[in-house]
Amino acid sequence: MPRAKLDFQIDTIKGDILKMTRAVEQQIRDAMKALEHLDSDLARKVIEKDDETNALYGEIKERCIQTIALQQPVAKDLRIISISMDVASNLERIGDYAVDIAKNVDYILRESPHLSEEFNKDVLKLIDGNGSENLMMEMGDVVASMVRDSGPAFIREDARKIEEIMKLEDQVDDLFRRIFRKLEDISRKDIEGVSFALNLILTARYLERAADHSVNITKRTLYAMRGKEEYI
């Protein structure tokens, strides 16, 4: 069977992509949880976890290059392997955004005691999962689910999942705009809290970027499936 080695390499790469997807999804969920509970320990774990994600990215890239060099894949095999590198690179960036979100948790902990009670109440309502206006947590949840589905959609070439992920991007953009307006209002009321609000806007921005990277994965998946670029 002349393809045994090539098939083994492709299966291993796919398995690693799934593993990396799960790890990065967990990073996003943990970063949001750390933000919600202002849990400094969990935030640190998210940051530390990034070394593992980066190492996995390195392994996938290395295996892809090795497979191209030694097995000389063509056609769909080549697309799957080269796009695995793109997928892994996008996942790695999502992991970085989880780290950025986690780093903000310490800042919030440091700054929040100095701010007015009313400001803190408003902001905490925005990020507290139990509050009525838990926009940030809602956004985190949507993005985590996009990330969760992106890797398997690539591996299984699941056109329906791809469509679902693409649709969720609009929801993420909408949530970002609403959070932006909310923080704008809050910071108008309390000028002391502007830099704090800006940091939370950044958090929302990181989530929005993570969603973009999930969509990138789906676009690359369509290329792997069809062999032509999709401009969506």
Partner 1 sequence: MDSKNKIEVKDLNLWYADKQALKDNNLHIKERKVTALIGPSGCGKSTFVRCINRMNDLIDGVRITGSILLDNKNIYDKDVDVVALRKRVGMVFQRPNPFPMSIFDNIAYGPRIHGIKDKDSLRKIVEESLVGAALWDEVSDRLGTNALDLSGGQQQRLCIARSLAVKPEVILFDEPCSALDPIATGKIEDLIHELRKKYTIVIVTHNMQQAARVSDFTGFFLLGKLLEFGKTRDIFENPKKKETEDYITGRFG
Instruction: Establish if 3 lies at the interface with partner 1 (CB under 8 A).
Output: yes
Taking CB under 8 A as the criterion, the residue among 78, 115, 159, 201 binding partner 1 is 78
Instruction: Establish if 68 lies at the interface with partner 1 (CB under 8 A).
Output: no
User: Token pair of 82, please?
Assistant: 């080269």
Instruction: Establish if 75 lies at the interface with partner 1 (CB under 8 A).
Output: yes
From the CB of 9, what's the least distance to partner 1, in Å? 13
Instruction: Establish if 74 lies at the interface with partner 1 (CB under 8 A).
Output: yes
Instruction: Establish if 73 lies at the interface with partner 1 (CB under 8 A).
Output: yes
Instruction: Lay out the site mask for partner 1 across 20-59 (x = CB under 8 A, - = otherwise).
Output: ----------------------------------------
From the CB of 3, what's the least distance to partner 1, in Å? 5
From the CB of 72, what's the least distance to partner 1, in Å? 6
C-beta separation of 94 from 28 below 8 A? yes
# residues near partner 1 by CB under 8 A: 13
Residues that bind partner 1 (CB under 8 A): 2-3, 6, 72-79, 227-228
